[in-house]
Amino acid sequence: MDYPNNRAEAKATGAKFYFTGIPCNRGHIALRKTKGSCVQCMKEDWKIDNDKRKEKPKSEAAKEAAKRYYERNKDAVKARANARSTTDVNNYKKKYKELNPELYKALTSVRKRRHRNATPKWITAEQKLAMRNLYLKAQELTKIAGERYVVDHIIPLISPEVCGLHVPWNLRVITQEENLKKSNKLLDTPKE
Ligand SMILES: [Zn+2]
């Protein structure tokens, strides 16, 4: 495709892009936007802004807005999700994992199975979410307090006497130290 080779010409002809063939300040040899700059630079900047935005915890207002958006555009959101490539999904998961290490520490395969086995069938989506939020809370507290917080099963999932359930009311966020004290008391019981 033929592009004008300078902005003046692009403006005069109404072209959206032009191509000088000269590297930009960051060394890209790329199209430039008539009403903007090097497209490669613009992409980089968008990505930086986006990443920054994603790292910030969402405000309640933003969460509500996202929920409303989803309610209004369910079909489109679902279609977009289905259209995503496996690589994209895997990359996203990987990144989420990196950003939320505590959430995943709690979910090694053994624990995952133990949790699943102790989760009653009648548990609701809200209750599941409530539990997930406790893991996120532990993670948040760990970050803030500089001391590790964990999610503790008040009645342990595996114990010689009773078996606790993986349900919101059997979970609490405590420091790892408290948790260790507790498992020392229960000595013969596997820690959970
Ligand atoms: Zn550039």
| Tens digit of each residue's pLDDT (9 = 90 or more) over 159-176 | 767 788 999 999 999 998
Q: Is the dihedral of CA 148, 151, 156, 157 positive or negative?
A: negative
- What would the two tokens of residue 153 be? 């099963």
Residue 77 CA to ligand 1 center (angstroms) comes to: 32
**Mean pLDDT of all residues belonging to the chain:** 85
Residue 4 CA to ligand 1 center (angstroms) comes to: 18
Q: What is the pLDDT of residues 23-75, one digit of tens each?
A: 999 999 999 999 999 999 999 999 988 888 877 777 888 888 888 998 999 88
Residue 88 CA to ligand 1 center (angstroms) comes to: 25
Residue 98 CA to ligand 1 center (angstroms) comes to: 29
Q: Model's pTM, two decimal places?
A: 0.44
Residue 29 CA to ligand 1 center (angstroms) comes to: 7
Q: How many CB atoms lie within 10 A of CB 109?
A: 7
**32 contacts 39 by C-beta, under 8 angstroms:** yes
